Structure 1
Amino acid sequence: MSKTALVTGASRGIGRGITIALAEAGHDVVVNYARNREAAEEVQAEVTKRGQKAHLVQADIASTDDRQRLVDEAMNAFGRIDLLVNNAGVAPTQRADILEATEESFDRLISTNLKGPYFLTQLVAARMISQGNHDESKPKIVVVSSISAYAASVDRGDYCIAKAGLTMLTQLWATRLAEHGINVYELRPGIIATDMTGGVKAKYDKLIFEQDLTPIKRWGEPEDVGKAVVAIAQDLLPFSTGQVIDIDGGFHLRRL
């Protein structure tokens, strides 16, 4: 029997890469998207092409009602959730120095990138506990953060704070859910080729290929993150929880 994954922000970028990788590994997927149904339908087709089922759910994870509906629809479609991937997130509408940043931007980033995953995890964890746990299907939760969790960018302060909050979110849920056999992991992607980074491609090309930003001299791809999620989904890290997994080409290394 196929396991079921719920992936937020699954229609594009990293979420798309994760969803397709999970389908290739034999998972049915709840494909959550906020606005772009056409992109979500393309992902659905990719999942179906790989012999798995995909159920589309439009929901804004910043909304209490939408989060509840997302979980309800996932359960109605598949009867259980074996893996939650908290991936959905937004970039600042406009990069602004923290001396000039607005509360409106801060509230938007925190609501979507931190509050949403925190309370969606609460809802899904309750379902995971109630549906039972056995050796063949130990539920897991993945939180996709960023190198911005610890690398300060003063023109994206709200984004960095939200991502840093995901680190503690992971530790809290890992601690609370361990007694129920539910492991929780934080993935920290580095510079990944997505729509979100498309506008700063020239900047990062220079940093990666000319200024030695990362030991591995290439852009990351959504598939790189997808492979890490598959490893977790397949229970290849059974004695780890609360663990940070860097997917950043070695950006996190301190070098002389």
Structure 2
Amino acid sequence: MNTTTKAVAIVTGGLRGLGLGIATQMVRDGFDIAVIDLPPPSPETDAALAPLSEAGARARYYQLDIADLENHGPTLARIQQDFGPQSPLTCLVNNAGIAARPLTDLLDLSPEAFDRSMDINLRGTFFLTQAFSNLLLKQEPSRRYRSIVFITSIAAEMTSPDRAQYCVSKAALSATTRLFAARLAGAGIAVHEVRPGFMRTDMTASAGSEVIDQWIAQGRVPMPRWGTPADVGQAVSTLAQGLMPYSTGQSFWIAGGLNIMRAT
């Protein structure tokens, strides 16, 4: 990045899995990082972020349940204060979310399970993005590339009746991407959607991976391997650096070609 001070990116759900992979790549590409996640600060959270600091970034941790809307503004204000006026916030990566556990047929899905997924995956993410957008709009005009990245899923388009609440929340986030993109484009703020495919993380392991292994072996994933947090991290960092400057509201599949429609 061709600036004397580093830009600051916020990564929600950044302590592990895709979020940590995203934060790791963004540090390599010159960002300082504010990680938001659910656990209270502890030696474990310090250890998770230590490699980011060792790579030369300022990496700070902030506890926030993104379903807790009242704490969105205060958390963003703390991040601004901690990093200082010379290191402006330029990117929000909306990665935090919960999976559908246990897997449940949609005909048996409870309102409580549905609402919990919506509160975190959709409602919390929507209003954190709203707060971040208003913060950017109040800043002085900047030559730095400013962006918001939503991490959705192939489930935004591919149906899975035993993960109904997850599919609905991710499809709604895809629409949310386009809404914010349309609203913010005139202010020079890009909004992107990244759709990970089958990713080798703790979240996928908790649901079992035998079926996905079979899909890969059968060639249903054209690139015959699992995706990794590093794959998603490279995509997000590319977008956040402004290396695709004439793009907004676009969904980027990081899924090994799973989006390719095949007749046979």
TM-score (structure 2 length as normaliser): 0.93
Give the Å deviation of 1:134: 2.4
Whether 1:134 aligns to 2:142 is yes
Q: 3-state SS of the aligned residue for 1:82?
A: strand
- Tell whether the 8 Å contact from 2:145 to 2:241 is kept in structure 1 after alignment: no
In the alignment, structure 1 residue 197 sits paired with structure 2 residue 201: no
- Give the deviation of 1:28 after TM superposition: 0.6
Task: Specify the alignment match of 1:238 in structure 2.
Answer: 245
Residue type of the alignment partner of 1:102 = S
Whole-Å separation in 1 of the counterparts to 2:20 and 2:7: 18
Q: Is the 8 A contact 2:17 2:229 kept in 1?
A: yes
Q: CA deviation at 1:34?
A: 0.5
- How far 1:2 sits from its partner (Å)? 0.6
Identical counterparts, % of pairs: 38
In 1, Cα distance between equivalents of 2:106 and 2:154:
19
Distance 2:115 2:209 in 1: 27
Q: Any unmatched runs of 5+ in structure 1? A: none
Within a 5 Å distance, the mapping from 1:145-164 to structure 2 comes to 145-164=152-171
- Find the counterpart in structure 2 of residue 42 from structure 1: 47
| AA in 2 matched with 1:73 | R
Q: Deviations over 1:104-163 (max 9, x none)?
A: 00000000001111100110011111113322x121100000000011100010000000
2:129 to 121, 132, 153: 121
Are residue 29 (structure 1) and residue 33 (structure 2) matched? yes
**Structure 1 contact 87–144 (Cα < 8 Å) conserved:** yes
Match of 2:80 in 1: 75
TM-score of the aligned structures, taking structure 1 as reference length: 0.96
Give the 3 Å change call, closer, same or farther, for CA 251–36 of structure 1 in structure 2: farther
Q: Partner of 1:237: helix, strand, or coil? A: coil
Gaps of 5+ in 2: none
Aligned positions, number: 254
> Could you tell me which residue of structure 2 aligns to residue 250 of structure 1?
257
Q: Aligned equivalents of 1:203 and 1:132: distance in 2?
A: 50
- Supply the RMSD in Å over aligned alpha carbons: 1.2
| Structure-to-structure mapping, 1:15-26, within 5 angstroms | 15-26=19-30
Mean CA deviation greater in 78-87 or 114-123: 78-87
- Provide Cα deviations, 1:82-125, integer angstroms capped at 9, x if missing partner: 11000000012311101100000000000000111110011001
